[in-house]
Amino acid sequence: MIHSNVDSAKKPQGCPSQNKGQDMAAKQKKEEEAIKNSLSKIKHKIFVLSGKGGVGKSSVSANLAASLSKQGYKTGLMDVDVHGPSIAQMLGLTELLDISANQMLLPKQVAENLKVVSVQALMQDKDQAIIWRGPAKTGMIRQFVSSVDWGELDFLIIDAPPGTGDEPLTVVQTIPEALGVIVTTPQEVALADIRKSISFCKTVRLKTLGIVENMAGFSCPHCHQHIDLFSSGGGEKTAKASGLEFLGSLPFETKVVASGDSGTPMMFNNEDTAFTRAFDTIVQNILKQIKL
């Protein structure tokens, strides 16, 4: 270290590494306080997860948030799928997030009672790949709680990527009071991974509201014959075998695909379909579990 004069050289300086460690500890403490403060304003946190990709987890998250907000609940939707975010597309987010005067990220207001945050809403180029290791992903998820001005909410829905790695673990550690909803499709290939999700929830002591079975069957629009595209009944059997609540089964419906592409979840529409009726049942079963 170079000193400007002899007197400054004689003063005890301390170890630079020690000072850096103290700064980091202070920063972490401040972030912990911000997380605690943010979560204290949110009544219920629902964590939608799955050990298997491609089961429609983001679709369930988007429609759950839409349904709750439509019922008058102040709802937030947080997309923590870093590498394959879908929520921005499903909710029609096309602009970057704004920043408030006190340097807080402002979630996008997509409906009267629904706010949304996605990592894609932080990117200038929506097709840009996010190439991050674990620590960066952990930091982002914690910032989505500590540095986002969620305000007062009845529900925060958290949509995670598939698996039992960094992102789900960080959500559980950051939001320990979260309640899990596990999404599966009926076939054994998916159920094998779902059993790992159930094991994950038990290991990290995440209270689980139950299992949702997605893409359970398809009714031909021409002849109306029912077709089990991915077998049937597997979600309910797995729920019973695991001692979990079976929240309900959702049919495969082409309108759900179209609504996701258009940026308006099915549950925002006023259509009476097999999917919307089934989803209403699932939402009511979730609310019963939370005792609302």
Domains of the chain by residue range? 42-290
User: Looking at residues 56-79, what average pLDDT do you find?
Assistant: 97
Span 226-245, mean pLDDT? 85
Reported pTM:
0.88
Residues 169-179 have pLDDT tens digits of 999 999 999 99
Q: Which amino acid, residue 91?
A: L
CATH of region 42-290, choose from 3.30.450.70, 3.40.50.300, 3.30.420.40, 3.30.360.10: 3.40.50.300
Q: Is 14 helix (H, G, I), strand (E, B) or coil?
A: coil
Report which of 209, 227, 210 is spatially closest to residue 218, judged by C-alpha positions: 227
pLDDT for the residue numbered 54: 87
Q: Is 80 exceeded by the pLDDT of residue 133?
A: yes
- Amino acid residing at 109: Q
Whole-angstrom distance, CA of residue 197 vs CA of residue 145:
23
Residue 7: predicted pLDDT: 59
Residue 138 tokens, joined: 């952990």
Angle at alpha carbon of residue 98, lines to 97 and 101, rounded to 5°? 150
**Is residue 59 exposed (0-12), middle (13-18) or buried (19+ Cβ within 10 Å)?**
buried
CA angle 200–42–148, rounded 5-degree value: 90
> Which pLDDT band holds residue 130 (cuts at 50, 70, 90)?
confident
95-112, pLDDT tens digit by residue? 888 998 888 999 999 999
